[in-house]
Amino acid sequence: MLSQPISVTFDIGGGREVSIETGRLARQADGAVTVRQGNCIILATVVANKEPKEGQSFFPLVVDYNEKFASAGRIPGSFFKREGKLSDYEVLVSRLIDRALRPLFPEDYLCDVQVLITLVSSDKEVMPDALACLAASAALAVSDVPIKEIISEVRIARIEGQFVVNPSRTELAKADMDFIIGATDKNLMMVEGEAEECAEEDLVKALEIAHDAIRVQIKAQEELRAKKGVTGKREYTKPEQDAELQQKVADFAKDKIYQISRSASAKHERSDAIDALKDELITSLGEEVEDNVKKLAKKYFDDLQWEVVRNMILDDRIRLDGRQLDQVRPLNMEVDVLPSPHGSALFTRGETQSLTTVTLGTPLDELLVESAAVSDYTKFILHYNFPPFSTGEVKMMRAPGRREVGHGNLAMRSLKKMMPGNEYPYTVRIVSDILESNGSSSMATVCAGSLALMDAGVPIPKHVSGVAMGLITRASDGKYAILTDILGDEDHLGDMDFKVTGTRDGICGVQMDIKIDGLSMNTMREALEQARKGRLHIVEAMYESIGEARSEVKPHAPRMEKLFIDKEFIGAVIGPQGKIIQEIQRETGATINIEEVGNYGEVSIFSPAKEGLDKAVAWIKGIVAVPEVGSVYEATVKGIKEFGAFVEFLPGKQGLLHISEISWKRLETMEGVLKEGEKVKVKLIGIDHKTGKFKLSRKILMPKPEGKKPEGPTA
């Protein structure tokens, strides 16, 4: 007999209801729910294996968010007309959910877990990414999969000075702060978003409001779980433990790990020393020891290293490379390091290095960004590459992974805040190639990208810098240490990865993951203030490298200009069957793109040479110009008659230069006076309002001979 669906409903503010239902769809999954707001419906399922794979040593969690095009009544545009691999947008939403869910599972839980979240019905005003983690957490809550706590996520945006939870798509377009927050009832777990140079205290206020909204969603999940009758979680096989072996590892390696860790050595030197010590440990166990014991000993060694380094930082206030807790590593930066790209920069911070280029393109280079509900073009693109040699490793080269997509997106959101508006004609692509990595290459990408933009002549008003912060805590005595510009090992060993980007005047982007319980708002404020000092230190060094955007693009960069004309002139520029625009392109070598936007025509003119660009711009301006009586023009003779010459004084506009208006001297004939194609300066002296004909004079621009009496039309 079919079970009856169970549901709960809650209000997220402004009379907007959200419902969570289970027991109706996907009933063979360990947990399945649908979350609905308006016409937006999200299905989330979770399935976990009962036993870990043999030899499993890590937690294999897979989180995939997918949007069905049918949810918005659309057919995919691909050749196969079906959904393919996850888009970058879907990957980014998947990462938001994954980062919040992962800390919920016990550290000794090693079974495969798959969480699938699918948008099955779309609402053009409801942002599904703000509801996706709620759906995933609810699916876990109604299952017997062993999670420690229930969480949720909300979007918090500041719109016209007011904070709004889960704003509509229309409202979000007006926001100057936009963050996704993930949290349990007590603790923040994940923050990601962007702002228009907001203050640190504004971010703290946004977090507090978001956390209150999250508590409402957690309470609804608890109510749903109670209605379903879930009272406990499944038992699971835990990894084997050997207390005697663990003590043996500690006795052999603890002091040696401490000495290596406090030696302030470089990354690879320290790593080689640790690896050599681990090999010594395994050798000390004897030749006949079983492989599973060796594997367990290596795990205990890694756990010991984690403990020793953390205690060293907390008790001795010493970091792995010898720096102070709030000290940024040595900086080195150069611009214009490559001759052919339109802009380039090399940014080095300690053992992290980014070589970044900027390419300027035409409107034809815009990127189509597509989701189920939205299909739009963007003129600003940032790609982040992380080759294996950057960490001294050998790996297969594959398509960009989720990490590359996520890091690139954070840098893109941060730099986008300083990009010029739609009036800027270029499509801009930034590519960051990480050449060395030991701590926050995404922040190096932000800094290198800002430098390269200025080098390319993109008119960004301010530099954007970024810094990665870390946190190490000890629950036993409440000690904590906030670390500025963390190393890769400090990220791995720490309790928080907190990246902050911004200008001298405020925050532009934030990405934070917390691996522990109990981050207080006071600690958050302290971390934000320390981050502010760190990124200001970096940004001042960037201004010393290049203080402002170059006034012009590089000589080898394409030239582009954008004109806005009344839409009534669009036809005149294009001409019958495109003849005029084709002639302009043929004569100037420029590429012209015209798009009707509202009451205006947006004309983008692209040329590899400045001369061709200037000629095309002047030509189009001439077509749309309204002739003014009294104005002087450079005209071209188009035809000669016995009574004068017809001249083109503006593109597409001709008038008669009467024989009596050519010279103060009386001319009996036009023979030998002018020839076709000759350039002459003329003045518009009148317009016949009945016929629309233009009256032009050349002689009025010449000195009048003494004693000469006025004659003809100019008299």
Binding-site residue positions for Mg(2+): 491, 497
Lay out the sheet containing 380-385: strands in order across: 331-335, 343-349, 352-361, 427-436, 380-385
CB 70 within 8 A of CB 90: no
Kindly report the number of other CB atoms within 10 A of residue 282's CB atom: 15
Q: Residue 144, by phi and psi: left (phi above 0), alpha (psi -120 to 50) or beta? A: alpha
DSSP 8-state symbol, 287: T
Tokens of 190: 């994940």
Say how far apart CA 306 and CA 286 lie, in whole Å.
25
Tokens of 470: 């870390």
| Backbone phi and psi for residue 695, each to the nearest 5 degrees, phi listed first | -105, 125
CB 121 within 8 A of CB 35: no
Residue from 238, 380, 365, 249 nearest 303 by CA: 249
CB 462 within 8 A of CB 503: yes
Say how far apart CA 668 and CA 587 lie, in whole Å.
37
Say how far apart CA 417 and CA 507 lie, in whole Å.
10
Say how far apart CA 68 and CA 72 lie, in whole Å.
8
Label residue 490 exposed, middle or buried (CB < 10 Å: 0-12, 13-18, 19+): buried
Beta strands in 122-256 (DSSP E): 152-159, 162-165, 175-183, 188-198
Distances in whole angstroms, Cα of residue 408 to Cα of each of 405, 508, 630? 5, 15, 56
Determine the number of helices (DSSP H) and then strands (DSSP E) in the chain. 14, 29
Give the distance from CA 563 to its chain's centroid.
28
Say how far apart CA 661 and CA 673 lie, in whole Å.
12
Say how far apart CA 613 and CA 551 lie, in whole Å.
17
- Which residues are CB-neighbours of 578 under 8 A, at least 6 positions away? none
Distances in whole angstroms, Cα of residue 407 to Cα of each of 354, 404, 424? 13, 5, 26
Say how far apart CA 660 and CA 667 lie, in whole Å.
7
Say how far apart CA 34 and CA 27 lie, in whole Å.
12
Residue from 285, 278, 296 nearest 238 by CA: 296
Tokens of 499: 């990246």
Question: How many residues belong to the chain?
Answer: 715
Please report, to the nearest 10 degrees, the dihedral formed by the alpha carbons of residues 249, 254, 259, 263 taken in order.
80
Kindly report the number of other CB atoms within 10 A of residue 667's CB atom: 13
Q: Binding site: residue ranges? A: 491, 497
Say how far apart CA 328 and CA 98 lie, in whole Å.
30
Kindly report the number of other CB atoms within 10 A of residue 86's CB atom: 17
Label residue 54 exposed, middle or buried (CB < 10 Å: 0-12, 13-18, 19+): exposed
